[in-house]
Amino acid sequence: MPSSRPALSGPIPLPVGFVTRIISRGQGTRSLCCPDCSVSLNLFQPDEDEPARLLGLCETCSKWVFLVEIEPDWSKVLLVELPSSDSVRQGLEATPAPRRGRRAP
């Protein structure tokens, strides 16, 4: 009987870089902003058990970021810019295909 689970490959190291920044919210600022556009990010909490980790989306430049609360009340945050889908595709094209198991001697 065929499996209903998707086929998974092994880990694929991609040569894409991540830009990280530590940002501090200014006094009186209630939202976290895109580092490029300074527009408020739309925030998503994918895991309700992890309230100190969020995903953010800038609707102006379509940048995705991963946010980690460093200091309480999000006063200091680690922001990790996620690579664009084009960067990921280019990295995948530049990565050699993973080797399958070893050949028998």
Number of domains into which the chain is organized: 1
Query: Does some domain include residue 50?
Result: yes
Give the per-residue pLDDT at 77. 94
Greatest Cα pair distance in the chain: 69
Query: Does some domain include residue 15?
Result: no
pLDDT in tens, 38-50: 899 999 999 999 9
Query: Does some domain include residue 66?
Result: yes
pLDDT in tens, 18-76: 899 998 876 666 788 888 898 999 999 999 999 999 999 999 999 999 999 999 988 89
**Do 91 and 78 meet the contact criterion of CB atoms below 8 Å apart?**
no
Query: Does some domain include residue 103?
Result: no
Query: Does some domain include residue 11?
Result: no
- What pTM did the predictor assign? 0.74
Query: Does some domain include residue 68?
Result: yes
Q: Which residues, in sequence order, are CB contacts of 67 under 8 Å at separation 6+?
A: 32, 41, 43, 53, 54, 55, 56, 77, 78, 79, 80
- Which range marks the domain in which residue 53 is found? 40-92
**Do 63 and 83 meet the contact criterion of CB atoms below 8 Å apart?**
no
